[in-house]
Amino acid sequence: MIAVLTADLIDSSKYESDFLEKVIVTLQEQFIYFEKSLAEKASNFSIYRGDSFQGIINSPEKALLCSFLLKTALNKLESEANSSIVKADLKLAIGIGSFDLKRDEISESNGEAFQFSGRTLDEMKSGSRKLMLKTSDIDINAEFDTSLALFDFIADRWSTASAEVIFYLLQGLKEKEIAQIVGISQSAVNQRKKAAGWDPISVLLKRFEEKISATFKGNQ
């Protein structure tokens, strides 16, 4: 069993070329972080068409953490274009399932996880949802559909400053460390952390890891 993440940038046509470049570099940095810190190969991720990407997470219980890291890494970026603020964001679908055809190129690989992820992203394109999960387990799908809908609601209200704090918390940094990186007081970090909904987000991550591990560990 693997997890496949498939994503499209939202409103990328509004990105100026230098901002799009910054977004792509940020994504590539996260792929490298996955390899260094989560033992997930950076080469398992591929950016295509300049505004979409797909990647394989070999430990499916880490899929939501990786998704949150990608989202917050982008949500902390913004650019001013034509007197309006453009914020980076994405629609991302997680598919968990079998890996039937393994090829060097991700685009040539196939399996249940790829189908779940790709088809779910297609379904999301015409709606407002930004993060969804699809597996072969109906109960898991139902539980996390509700949870991720609530996460969308919370994340849509983040400022770039809030997203930045969540980004570093997801990496396991302490408030004091984040304060030094961002250049604000520890109390300000704590305020942003609470305003961004870190406590329920951390509970959701723990629940996801436990549930996915328990359900699919026999199929690894």
What is the CATH classification number for the domain harbouring 40? 3.30.70.270
Tell me whether residue 164 is in a domain: no
Q: Helix axis angle, 198-216 relative to 138-155, nearest 10°?
A: 160
Task: Summarize the confidence of residues 52-73 as an average pLDDT.
Answer: 96
Tell me whether residue 208 is in a domain: no
Residue 107 pLDDT more than 80? no
Tell me whether residue 142 is in a domain: yes
Tell me whether residue 193 is in a domain: no
Tell me whether residue 218 is in a domain: no
pLDDT at 100: 66
Q: What is the mean pLDDT of the chain?
A: 92
Better pLDDT: 199 or 216: 199
pLDDT tens per residue, range 22-34:
999 999 999 999 9
139: Cα separation from own chain's centroid: 22
Which pLDDT band, with edges at 50, 70 and 90, does 108 fall under?
low
CB 93 within 8 A of CB 120: yes
Is the pTM higher than 0.75? The answer reads yes
214-219 own/partner pairs: CB under 8 Å, 24+ apart: 215/135, 215/137, 215/140, 216/1, 216/60, 216/61, 216/96, 216/135, 219/1, 219/98
Tell me whether residue 192 is in a domain: no
Which pLDDT band, with edges at 50, 70 and 90, does 111 fall under?
confident
Residue 38 pLDDT more than 70? yes
pLDDT tens per residue, range 136-147:
999 999 999 999
Q: Indicate the number of domains in the chain.
A: 1
Tell me whether residue 94 is in a domain: yes
pLDDT at 216: 87
pLDDT at 175: 97
Residue 172 pLDDT more than 90? yes
Which pLDDT band, with edges at 50, 70 and 90, does 190 fall under?
very high
Signed CA dihedral, 191, 193, 194, 195: sign only:
positive
Q: Name the residue range of residue 48's domain.
A: 2-157
Tell me whether residue 173 is in a domain: no
